[in-house]
Every structure is written in structure tokens, then in C-alpha cells.
Amino acid sequence: MTDVSTDPDAPVVLELLRGVAGASRDPDVVVAELLVKLVEEHSPVRVDEILATLIRDAHPD
Amino acid sequence: MHIQIETSPVGPLRVIATLPSARVAMLEGLNGIGKSLAVRLLELCVGEMPYRTDSAAWQSLCVGLGEFSVTLSALDGAQAVHWEGDSRDWAGASLADGGVTFRTMTIDGRSASMDDIRRLVRVHRLSGDEDLVETLSQQADDAADRLRRWFRRHADAETGPLHDLESRMGEVSELLGDWTLDRFASLGRAVTEAHDRLGERARAVAQLRDRREALFEAQRIRRQLVQLETDLPSIRAELESVDSEIAELRTELERNQHELTTLAGQVATAGPVVRELRNARRTLERNHSNLAHALDGLARRAAEADVAPDVASIEAAIAGVQQDLDEWLALRAEYDQAPDMRDLIDGSVASLSQAETSGLGMQVFIEDPETDLQLTVSESRHGMLVRREILEGQPPPPEAEELAAAIAAAERRLALLGDVKARAIEAARFRRLVNDNQDRVDQALRAFDPDAVDRLQELEAQRRQRDERVLELATRRATLVQQAGGVASSATVEQTAADLSGILELLGLDADQVPDELGTVDAALNAANAAQRDAEAHHRQLRRDLARAEADVRRTTAVLSSEYWNWLVEALPAGAVPNVDDQIDQQVASLEAARDAADRVVDRLGDHRGQIAAVEQGLRGLARRLRGHELETRRYVDRLESWLGDHYSEWFNIPRVRAELLPAADGPIYVDLHTAEVRWTEDGAERSRPLEAFSSGEQAFAYTRARLAILDEEENPPANRLVVLDEFGAFIAHDRLAALIAHLQDRVVDHPTDQVVVILPLTRDYASLAENSVGPDAARYSELERQIEDRGYVLQELVP
């Protein structure tokens, strides 16, 4: 898995995606938000953690 | 700050070798001498990216510039910064992976990073042909460029984070399979329906077989009746003849016996001789009776078996039947291997059960790398049990059933022939005893008076001949009785006719119709057998499909319980996690729920790629619309308008920008991208102005001042800064150049470390000016004329 924490475009892109997402937590940008969060935390992206989050997000309980 | 640029372009590019070191200077030059290219190269050297990487200008630079070196000297904080590089290194390289690279970057001779250099020096280029609308458009394009680079790095279909997420979800989807409760139930119903249909086909076959048997029986009874009606009179006549002859022979035998007894008494010389003859004859008579009884039984059974009543014939018949039986048994094994397979499975299951008890249940037992099939010991045992159940419920094929009937008939015939053979052997034994007894009688007779012996022997020979004849007739009689079926009477003929009438009534036929009907039923039976075979194959296939489905589901449930999938099990809702103890339907329902959740994740991951692309398209569309073209997209446009509007509004609300562009505005300034307007309040009144209005006249000059002012907001300003105002020819056309120069000269006081260069196209004829001037002006114009001739541009220091 690529570590995206050193991405030079990350700050602008993250601001943009977050701006597009707005406060509505639009499902369209949930994946991007998740990547954003991991970038901000400067932690290597862990596939299982992301997918587990998405799976939990896919069911109401 | 002195600037030296050395290049040796490999393509049709030119770059001027230096820029002025004055705090404010003006550079006028001919077109195509590389003024702007020099500034852009300096921007690249300090980590800026003045090109769009998909632009022709960038591609031309990469290919055409080649090796170069740039040196900045006399800086605040350092003596010299030096770069060496080759633009061809940049062709095709991903700028996201560290930006433009140089072969050498040094500060005072020591290797330096771009961050080190940017702390020391920066370069800003303000383009005079970029008005407010174009600047805003470029910002939207720049954001789109960044998004595209992000897309390529993180959302590529072949590599990167999103690809890794999708690959992992691919594993999940493959594991969870595609069984739904509906499909599973549907398969179960299909198995039941196929079973019912098979039952219907089997019943149809059974009915046709029953009818065929009835037809055969009708034919048999009819033949018997014909035989009774045609052959019975002759059999009866022969029987009467045989019975009459036997009666006569017995009368003669009695007379013969009486004469023998009388004569023996008259000629006897001693009591012992008479007793021996009497005893020998008594024994002979007993064995003769036994022989007669044995021959009677043999004749009846031999007639029933349709075989000659001698041992050789019987053994030949047995050998023939046994040969047929062996062939049929071998053929049956080919048609129906279910019994052998059941035995094999029983033995294997027992071994696997023992292995499970020993804790080997989860060990891989079967592995096929070609089909990627892996089965554990437990799965293999379960699969074998399912297979056994299928074999148990699987009817033997019709060919095997017919063979079974033939085999049973052959076995019955073998038993009959065995009985006939035993009787023949028994009869032969009595025959030998009778012969021995005859010899004993002859021996006893030789003890009598020789004169009487001849007569006694004659009488004995007659008796023996008549006995033989009686035996022969008795055997023939037994055969005749058997041929008549033991029912050779007029009452039996009537009964047989009644039997035939009854079975024909059941069949709904006349006797003459039986042969044709038999042909019809045979054809129907063939078709019904074929239909039954098809139904069996269909049922077997569905059973197999169901068994595989169950095995798939159980295997998935078992695999999910491994540590490798803990993260998935923990993320799924309780109802989507199957348990090995659940009923199979429940396991399918759980897996279906799990797959629904996984599918939603897969969809969202896939959508993300399209969404990033759509956001990029939205940004480019808004940039196009700001430039007066069609938007050409709709998705996300509203939200992007809002986001970009907020972003632009922040810029307008920077105090120095407000002061230049809207000095009378009260409160916040808003940019509405949908209407392409700037809105504000002034003395309590709402005001608005189209964005494009900031691109002409005094507003354009104010915008330039605003951009210069923005530079002063730069965080962590460097010790050295080069500001280049390029493409400002329009200012000359509108007579605002003097005002711009004055503004630049005025700001020197507040920005002593800035080095400002205004680049202009050459518009004045300095040769003509020199000729038409006098004194110092003439000398200055002459010097400028010389510079134009020497290097194609002139430099004028406005503030040293």
C-alpha cells in the first residue's frame, strides 16, 4: 500500500474534496474522506482498516 | 542578486543569458529571444511549476532545452546558488514523485534541497495578459491538475491505494461467492421438482412394463391354449397307449413272477438257495421301484427344464446358462457402478472420520492446482456423504434393470438344472444298483438244478426285459404328463381359455390385436425409458449442483472463521456472519447479507474513481465557463461553484486586495460563480460587479497592484525575491506604463529585498530616437540601440 502522506498535492486535493463533500457526508466522497483522514494522520494506509470502516458504513447498525 | 543562465538548446529555443540586478529594471526585447523562458526556468529552479504538464509549451521545453546551468550570486544570506540540469530528464517523468529534478543543486558549493533554496530565494512571475478572470480560471485548472495527479497516484486501476482496496475486496467477493437465499431455495425446489418428475417417468415406465408383461402373458396363454387344443389329443392318445401297455406288461410280469416262484420251488435243492434267490429278487424289486420313482421325477423336471434327461446334456445346458450369467453380471457392473462406489465411499468415510477425531478436520486433504480446488478432511468427508446419498437415491439405469431380470431368470434356470442334474445322478445310482441286483439274482439262479436253470434264466430274462420296458414307458409317461403341463384335461382347456379372455379384457384388446399392441408398447417403452434416463440425468445434475452449493457455502463459512478474515467478520453485522452450526439456509442468508455489504463497498470504491474524474471535469468546466465557453458538465458543479466561490471570496477579502479593488466596500465581499459576479455592500447598499469588469481599464491596473500586494502576504518570505512583470505590453498601449513604473518605484521603500523586472516587447526605435535627440539622451539611445544589435534586448535600471 502506498504511503500518501508525502504527496505534494495532498493538501490542496484534500481541501478540495472536503469542500465538495461539505457537511452532508455525501456517500460520493466517503472514500475520499477516508483517504484524507489517513493522509492527515500520516499513517500508512491499512487496507483492512479502511475496508472494515467502509463495511461498517455500509450497514446501519 | 545577479542572475546568469547558460544554455545550449537542442531544439529551436532561445533563453536570454541574464536578468538585471537592479531593484527595479525594465527589459525590452525582440520577440523570440527567450525573455519569458528565462523567467520560467528560474521559477522551475525555485520549485514552482509555471507550466501545465499536458501543455505543448512544457513538452517543447523538456525536449528542446537540453543541458543548462543557472547561477544566482550576490544574494542576501549566501554567495551563490547554482543549478545544473537537463530538461530531457523531465520528459515523461511524474512531477508528483518529487517535482522537477536537477542534476546539481548547491548553495555556496554545498548540496542543497529545494526547501533550503526556497528559504533563500523565490521567483514570482506576474503576467500582464492574465486578468482576474483568467487568474481565477487558472486556479480552477490548477486544482483540476492536482486532482488529476492525485487520481493517477491513488485511484489508478492497476496500482495504488484504491487498486489495493479493490483487490482486497475482490478477495472478499470471491470468498463470499454468489449464492443468494432465493437462488439456493430455487435450486432446492428444482431438485424436488426433478425428483417428482423422475417419479412420474418411472411410474410411466412401470405401467408400460406391466402392460408389456400382460401382453407377453396373453401371448403365452394363447400359445398354451393352441397347444392344448392341437397337441392334447395326440398326447392323450399316447398316454392311453402307454398306460395300456404298462398294464399289460404288469400282468405279464405278475404271471412271469408266479411262474418263476413256482418253478424255483420245484427245482430247489436246498432251502438256503431259495432264500438267497428270494432275497436277491426282493432287493432288486426295491431298487427297481426306487429307479422307477427317480426316473419319473427326472423326466418331469427335465421336461420342465426343456433338456434331455441325461447328465451330459444337463451339464452342457448348465455350462451355457452359466456363461450367459457371467457375461450379464459383468455387463451389469458396467451399467451400474453405484453399489461398488457405495462400498468405496463407506471405507473412505470411516478413515476420514477417524482422522477428524484425531484433530485433522481442518487439514487440506484434496488439492487441485489446476482448478484451485482445496478441500479439508471435514469437507471431503461431508462431500463423500453427500455423494453416497446421491448414489443411494439413484435408481439403476433401465439397461441394468433389464439385465437384473435376465440374471434372476438365469439363476432360477441354473437352480432348476441343478435339481435335474441331481435327479439324473440319483437315477443313475439306482440304475447301477438294479444292475448289481440283477447280477445277484443270476448268481442265485446258477445254484439251482442245471436242468431247470435254462427255463429259470429264460423267465428271468423275460422279466428283466419287461421291467426295462415298464421303466421306459413310465419315463415316457412322465414326460408326456409334463408336456401337457400336468393339466391335460378338458377342464384345464376351458380354464386356460377363461384366463386368456380375462387378461385380454384387462388389456382392452382382442387376441389378434396383441402382437401389434406389443410392438406399440415396446416403442412407447423405449421412449419412456429415454425420458426416464433424461429425467434421471437432470435430477442427478441438480442434486450434484445442490451438493456443490452446500459444500461451497460450508467451506466459505469455515474459511471465514480463520484468523485471516477476523477484520471482515468483526466489521460485518451479526446477521451477516455465518456459523458452522447454523442450518445451511441460514448460512446462505448470512453470506448473502455479507455480500450485500461487500458489494456496496465495491460499488463505492469503483464510484470513487468516477467521482474524482467528475470533480476534475467540474473544475475544468467552471474554468471554461469563466473564460466564456460552455460548461460541458453538470455533476458536482453546484458544490464546486460554492467551494470555489468561497475560495475566491477569501482572496477578495484580503485587506490589500480590498483596498486596491473595492476600497469603499463594507463588510465581507462575496464571489458568486454562478452569476460570475462580485457582491458587496457600500454605505449600506448592496452592490455587484461582473468579474470580467475587473479585467479592463483602471480595474486591470488595480488588479495588478492587488497581485503585487498579495506577494507581501507570503508566509515566511525569503531573503531574496525576484518579481517579474511579464507580458505588460497592453499597459503601454493604454498609457498606464508610467503609472505602473511609478508604483513599482514607490514600493521599493517597503520592499528593499525585492528585485523587480518589467519585461516588455520592443516597441521603440532607439536608432531613430538617437538621431533625433541631442546631448545625454542621444548618447543613452545610442547605447540602447547598440544593446539591441548585440543581444536583442535592452536593460534599463529604474531603481539601482
pLDDT 10s digits, B702-758: 778 778 877 876 667 788 999 999 887 766 665 677 888 888 888 888 888 889 999
Question: What whole-number distance in Å separates Cα of residue B102 and Cα of residue B692?
Answer: 40
Q: Is the pLDDT of residue B113 over 70?
A: yes
Q: List the alpha helices (DSSP H) in B446-489.
A: 450-483
Question: Does B118 lie at the interface with A, CB-CB under 8 angstroms?
Answer: no
Please indicate whether, in this complex, the C-beta atoms of B597 and A59 are within 8 angstroms of each other: yes
Question: Does A3 lie at the interface with B, CB-CB under 8 angstroms?
Answer: no
Mutate which of A7, A12, A13 to disrupt the B interface (most B C-beta within 10 Å)? A13
Q: List the alpha helices (DSSP H) in B358-397.
A: 377-393
Question: What whole-number distance in Å separates Cα of residue B647 and Cα of residue B96?
Answer: 24
Answer whether B492's CB lies under 8 Å from B229's CB. Answer: no
pLDDT tens digits, B163-220:
888 899 999 999 999 999 999 999 999 999 999 999 999 999 999 999 998 999 999 8
Amino acid letter, residue B90: W
Question: What whole-number distance in Å separates Cα of residue B309 and Cα of residue B471?
Answer: 14
The residues, ordered by sequence, that sit 6+ positions from B85 with a Cβ below 8 Å of its Cβ are B67, B68, B69, B101, B102, B103, B104
Residue of A nearest to B151 (CA): A13
* Three cell numbers, residue B646: 468561497
Q: Is the pLDDT of residue B261 over 80?
A: no
* Minimum-distance CB partner of A13 among B147, B168, B605: B147
The CA distance from B794 to the nearest CA of chain A, in Å, is: 39
Per-residue buried b or exposed e for B323-356, using 16+ beta carbons within 10 Å of the residue's own CB: ebbeebeeebeebbebeeeeeebeeebeebeebe
Residue among B695, B698, B795 nearest B755 (CA): B795
Question: Does B569 lie at the interface with A, CB-CB under 8 angstroms?
Answer: no
The answer to which of A16-30, B288-302, B541-555 has the lowest mean pLDDT is A16-30
Answer whether B150's CB lies under 8 Å from A9's CB. Answer: yes
* Minimum-distance CB partner of A28 among B150, B567, B611: B611
pLDDT attached to residue B296: 83
Question: What whole-number distance in Å separates Cα of residue B374 and Cα of residue B363?
Answer: 10
Answer whether B250's CB lies under 8 Å from B506's CB. Answer: no
Q: Is the pLDDT of residue B501 over 90?
A: yes
* Three cell numbers, residue B407: 440374471
Strands B677-682 and B666-672: antiparallel
Q: For chain A, give me the number of helices (H) and strands (E)?
A: 3, 0
Residues of A in contact with B612 (CB under 8 A): 32
Residue of A nearest to B565 (CA): A48
pLDDT attached to residue A8: 62
Cα–Cα distance list, B100 to A35, B97, B114 (Å):
26, 9, 10
Residues of A in contact with B576 (CB under 8 A): 59
Q: Residue written as cell 512571475?
A: B125
Residues of B in contact with A45 (CB under 8 A): 161, 164
Residue of A nearest to B96 (CA): A8
pLDDT tens digits, B510-536:
999 999 999 999 999 999 989 998 998
Mutate which of B114, B173, B577, B608 to disrupt the A interface (most A C-beta within 10 Å)? B608
The CA distance from B691 to the nearest CA of chain A, in Å, is: 22
Question: Does A23 lie at the interface with B, CB-CB under 8 angstroms?
Answer: no
Q: Is the pLDDT of residue A2 over 50?
A: no
pLDDT confidence tier of residue B394, bands split at 50, 70 and 90: low
Strands B677-682 and B685-690: antiparallel
Please indicate whether, in this complex, the C-beta atoms of B605 and A53 are within 8 angstroms of each other: no
Residues of A in contact with B601 (CB under 8 A): 51, 54-55, 58
Q: List residues bridging with B688 in a β-sheet.
A: B679
pLDDT confidence tier of residue A30, bands split at 50, 70 and 90: low
Question: What whole-number distance in Å separates Cα of residue B550 and Cα of residue B586?
Answer: 12
Please indicate whether, in this complex, the C-beta atoms of B153 and A45 are within 8 angstroms of each other: no
* Three cell numbers, residue B762: 520592443
* Minimum-distance CB partner of B96 among A8, A29, A35: A8
* Minimum-distance CB partner of A58 among B154, B597, B642: B597
Question: Does B168 lie at the interface with A, CB-CB under 8 angstroms?
Answer: yes
pLDDT attached to residue A6: 54
DSSP one-letter string for B565-622:
GHHHHHHS-GGG---TTS-HHHHHHHHHHHHHHHHHHHHHHHHHHHHHHHHHHHHHHH
In this structure, which long-range contacts are made by residues B568-571, counting pairs with CB atoms below 8 Å and at least 24 apart in sequence? B568/A48, B568/A51, B568/A52, B568/A55, B568/B172, B568/B594, B570/A52, B571/A51, B571/A52, B571/A53, B571/A55, B571/A56
Question: What whole-number distance in Å separates Cα of residue B22 and Cα of residue B42?
Answer: 17
Please indicate whether, in this complex, the C-beta atoms of A19 and B612 are within 8 angstroms of each other: no
Q: Is the pLDDT of residue A40 over 90?
A: no
Highest mean pLDDT among B99-108, B554-563, B587-596: B587-596
**3-state SS record for B26-78:** EEEECCCCCHHHHHHHHHHHCCCCCCCCCCHHHHHHHHHCCEEEEEEEEECCE
Question: What whole-number distance in Å separates Cα of residue B757 and Cα of residue B336?
Answer: 100
pLDDT confidence tier of residue B677, bands split at 50, 70 and 90: very high
Question: What whole-number distance in Å separates Cα of residue B667 and Cα of residue B685?
Answer: 11
Question: Does B634 lie at the interface with A, CB-CB under 8 angstroms?
Answer: no
pLDDT confidence tier of residue A60, bands split at 50, 70 and 90: low
Q: Give the number of A-B residue pairs with CB atoms closer than 8 Å.
A: 103
Question: What whole-number distance in Å separates Cα of residue B528 and Cα of residue B512?
Answer: 25
DSSP-derived 3-state class of residue B205: helix
* ipTM reported for the complex surpasses 0.90: no
Question: Does A48 lie at the interface with B, CB-CB under 8 angstroms?
Answer: yes
Question: What whole-number distance in Å separates Cα of residue B367 and Cα of residue B174?
Answer: 18
Please indicate whether, in this complex, the C-beta atoms of A16 and B597 are within 8 angstroms of each other: no
The CA distance from B164 to the nearest CA of chain A, in Å, is: 7
Q: Residue written as cell 526556468?
A: B41
pLDDT confidence tier of residue B487, bands split at 50, 70 and 90: very low
Question: What whole-number distance in Å separates Cα of residue B628 and Cα of residue B622?
Answer: 10
Per-residue buried b or exposed e for B391-426, using 16+ beta carbons within 10 Å of the residue's own CB: beebebbbebbebeeebeebeebbebbebbbebbeb
Mutate which of A24, A45, A48, A61 to disrupt the B interface (most B C-beta within 10 Å)? A48
pLDDT tens digits, B33-56:
999 999 999 999 998 888 877 788
pLDDT attached to residue B484: 64
Please indicate whether, in this complex, the C-beta atoms of B604 and A31 are within 8 angstroms of each other: yes
Please indicate whether, in this complex, the C-beta atoms of B604 and A56 are within 8 angstroms of each other: no
Looking at the whole model, is its pTM more than 0.80?
A: no
* Minimum-distance CB partner of A30 among B568, B604, B643: B604
- Across B608-684, where does the E strand assignment appear? 666-672, 677-682
Residues of A in contact with B563 (CB under 8 A): none
pLDDT confidence tier of residue B485, bands split at 50, 70 and 90: low
Give the helix/strand (H/E) hosting A11: helix A10-21
pLDDT attached to residue B595: 94
Please indicate whether, in this complex, the C-beta atoms of A54 and B604 are within 8 angstroms of each other: yes
The CA-CA-CA angle for residues B370, B371, B375, to 5°, reads 115
Which of B662 and B705 is assigned the larger pLDDT? B662
Question: Does B643 lie at the interface with A, CB-CB under 8 angstroms?
Answer: yes
The residues, ordered by sequence, that sit 6+ positions from B175 with a Cβ below 8 Å of its Cβ are B556, B559, B560, B565
Please indicate whether, in this complex, the C-beta atoms of A13 and B567 are within 8 angstroms of each other: no
C-alpha B556, offset from chain centre: 14
pLDDT confidence tier of residue B399, bands split at 50, 70 and 90: low
Residues of B in contact with A7 (CB under 8 A): 96, 150, 153-154
pLDDT tens digits, B116-147:
999 999 999 988 877 788 888 888 888 898 88
Please indicate whether, in this complex, the C-beta atoms of B153 and A22 are within 8 angstroms of each other: no
Question: What whole-number distance in Å separates Cα of residue B747 and Cα of residue B754?
Answer: 10
Question: What whole-number distance in Å separates Cα of residue B148 and Cα of residue B609?
Answer: 11
Please indicate whether, in this complex, the C-beta atoms of A30 and B600 are within 8 angstroms of each other: no
Residue of B nearest to A20 (CA): B639
Q: Is the pLDDT of residue B456 over 80?
A: no
* Minimum-distance CB partner of A31 among B168, B605, B646: B605
Residue among B53, B103, B66 nearest B83 (CA): B103
* Minimum-distance CB partner of A55 among B96, B161, B601: B601
DSSP one-letter string for B76-116:
TTEEEEEEEEEGGGGTT--TTTTSS--SEEEETTEE--HHH
* Three cell numbers, residue B380: 471431503
Question: What whole-number distance in Å separates Cα of residue B596 and Cα of residue B612?
Answer: 24
The residues, ordered by sequence, that sit 6+ positions from B188 with a Cβ below 8 Å of its Cβ are B546
Question: Does A61 lie at the interface with B, CB-CB under 8 angstroms?
Answer: yes
* Three cell numbers, residue B555: 467451506
Question: What whole-number distance in Å separates Cα of residue B610 and Cα of residue B546?
Answer: 39
Residue of B nearest to A4 (CA): B154
Question: What whole-number distance in Å separates Cα of residue B604 and Cα of residue B598?
Answer: 10
